[in-house]
Amino acid sequence: MTVWQPKTGEQVTNIVLSALAERRKLSVSGHETKAGLGHPVDAKESLSLTNLSGIVDYQPEELVLVVKAGTPLDEIEKTLSEKNQMLAFEPPHLERFYGTEGTGTIGGLVATNLSGPRRVSAGAARDFLLGFAAVSGRGDVFKSGSRVMKNVTGYDLSKLMCGSFGTLAVMTEITLKVLPCPETSSSLSLLCDTIDSAQLALANAFCSDTEPSGGAISRANEGWQAVIRLEGVDVSVRDRMTKLKSTLQSARTSKVLDKQASEAFWENWRDISMISDDAEQVYRLSVTPSDAPKIASSLLKAYDLELGFDWMGGLIWIGGKGAGLGQKVRQTIKDFNGHATLMRGTEGHRRDVGVFQPQAAPLAALARRIKNAFDPEDILNSGKMGTIGRGA
């Protein structure tokens, strides 16, 4: 396979233009740490952004970071932490999960719109992308957004770019909003008898004025463990923890995790520690939080599963095996409302159950028209989002 490794935006344009002229398809990638996510791409050539790397501009007091698309995530996180700032959407590090090396590039992260536990309070990757520059599948250089926090000038193409898996355009430069790190954090861990009672504890925590920034449910030896994170100024975290404990005092046993223990728990949870390397198929279910116990029970009745909840119950991670598991997940999500993504699976699984939840026909048709508006010849990451992302 030919791998193009442009060093400048201009070179990216030339590669796309020459591919377009000969209708050659390109697989657009960074470090390929998340190559297991999405459908296999139909392309004989690869456009790798790894050499388009580096921090273009970082202004801590403006809360703005401008980077080239191939900049490694760990380099960005290191730079930010030196100024006590962070990517507040808590991007997961998926190298263990996918058995790959390195943290991947910022471009890959934005393209997959993956967000960690703090999604529930701070927002998703899509909420922090202020702007970008890109080359469309037409070979046109274009930009959208800006470097300021508040901007409604023109369509918000940043939202489309987030989660488009490189099927619309090749991002060359990315502008992100960054935030100060919280001074400290602490978590309350509660042992509950059932998923229902654990989810209820999370709902009560999030409805209280204790401002949680994470809510997870994990399997415990005898029952389920609900974990709620508080972050902020030290005196405030202590104060809110006291309040949280009294709000949730009906739980069987509870324990407070100090800063170190809390950070360790959430880092693991962010990186999908609830799922082992053995799980053959892994699904990520984004659902209405209060539906989570019903959805989980329904799946657990039929399959032996590894399972964990994030986002106050609104995100369910499921690992398991079995021929019918995919269809069962798809049907369950259809019965409720939400979205299931096949995060890990063989090519066969990905083909048979699809990576993404099927869309209603008019919406799928609209998605095809949008793809067509950016990449009419379907040369960028063709098939990555399944038939739904493919040009008409």
Instruction: List binders of other proteins among 144-183 (CB under 8 A).
Output: 144, 146-160, 162-164, 168, 179-181, 183
288 is a site residue for other proteins (CB under 8 A)? yes
Side chain identity at residue 30, one-letter code: G
Per CB under 8 A, which of residues 229..248 are in contact with other proteins?
232-233, 235-236, 238-240, 243
The distance of closest approach from Cβ of residue 367 to other proteins in the complex, given in angstroms and rounded to an integer, is 5
Q: Which is nearer to other proteins, 235 or 264 (CB)?
A: 235
Compute the 3-state secondary structure of the chain and give helix, strand, coil in percent, each to the nearest 5.
35, 30, 35
User: Coil, strand or helix: which one is 248?
Assistant: coil
Of 315, 318, 329, 380, the one binding other proteins (CB under 8 A) is: 315
Phi–psi pair at 171, nearest 5 degrees: -70, 135
Instruction: Report the distance separating Cα 198 and Cα 190, nearest Å.
Output: 8
Q: Find the part of the chain contacting other proteins (CB under 8 A) among 26-34, 207-215, 253-261, 323-331.
A: 207-215
Per CB under 8 A, which of residues 66..85 are in contact with other proteins?
84-85
Of 209, 222, 277, 278, the one binding other proteins (CB under 8 A) is: 209
The distance of closest approach from Cβ of residue 20 to other proteins in the complex, given in angstroms and rounded to an integer, is 6
Supply angle C-alpha 299, 116, 65, rounded to 5: 155
354 is a site residue for other proteins (CB under 8 A)? no
Return left, alpha or beta for 210; rule: phi > 0 is left, psi -120 to 50 is alpha, else beta. Answer: alpha
Q: Which is nearer to other proteins, 8 or 297 (CB)?
A: 8
Count Cβ atoms below 10 Å from residue 221 Cβ, excluding itself: 6
Supply angle C-alpha 135, 137, 139, rounded to 5: 55
Instruction: Report the distance separating Cα 101 and Cα 247, nearest Å.
Output: 43
Name the pairing type of β-strands 2-4 and 45-48: parallel
Of 203, 256, 261, 300, the one binding other proteins (CB under 8 A) is: 203
Q: Which is nearer to other proteins, 302 or 365 (CB)?
A: 365
290 is a site residue for other proteins (CB under 8 A)? yes
250 is a site residue for other proteins (CB under 8 A)? no
Instruction: Report the distance separating Cα 161 and Cα 179, nearest Å.
Output: 21
Per CB under 8 A, which of residues 90..149 are in contact with other proteins?
113, 115, 119-120, 123-124, 126-127, 136, 138-144, 146-149
369 is a site residue for other proteins (CB under 8 A)? yes
Instruction: Report the distance separating Cα 9 and Cα 54, nearest Å.
Output: 13
Instruction: Report the distance separating Cα 354 and Cα 349, nearest Å.
Output: 7
Per CB under 8 A, which of residues 9..38 are in contact with other proteins?
11, 14-15, 17-18, 20-22
334 is a site residue for other proteins (CB under 8 A)? no
Q: Find the part of the chain contacting other proteins (CB under 8 A) among 59-67, 70-78, 186-194, 345-353.
A: 59-67
The distance of closest approach from Cβ of residue 85 to other proteins in the complex, given in angstroms and rounded to an integer, is 8
Across the beta sheet with 212-220, the strand order is 253-257, 184-192, 223-232, 212-220, 306-310, 315-320, 281-287, 338-344
256 is a site residue for other proteins (CB under 8 A)? no
210 is a site residue for other proteins (CB under 8 A)? yes
The distance of closest approach from Cβ of residue 134 to other proteins in the complex, given in angstroms and rounded to an integer, is 9
Furthest-apart CA atoms within the chain: distance in Å: 67
387 is a site residue for other proteins (CB under 8 A)? no
Structure tokens at 246: 């009294």
Q: Which is nearer to other proteins, 7 or 276 (CB)?
A: 7
Contact status, residue 281 vs residue 342, Cβ threshold 8 Å = yes
Phi–psi pair at 139, nearest 5 degrees: 80, 10
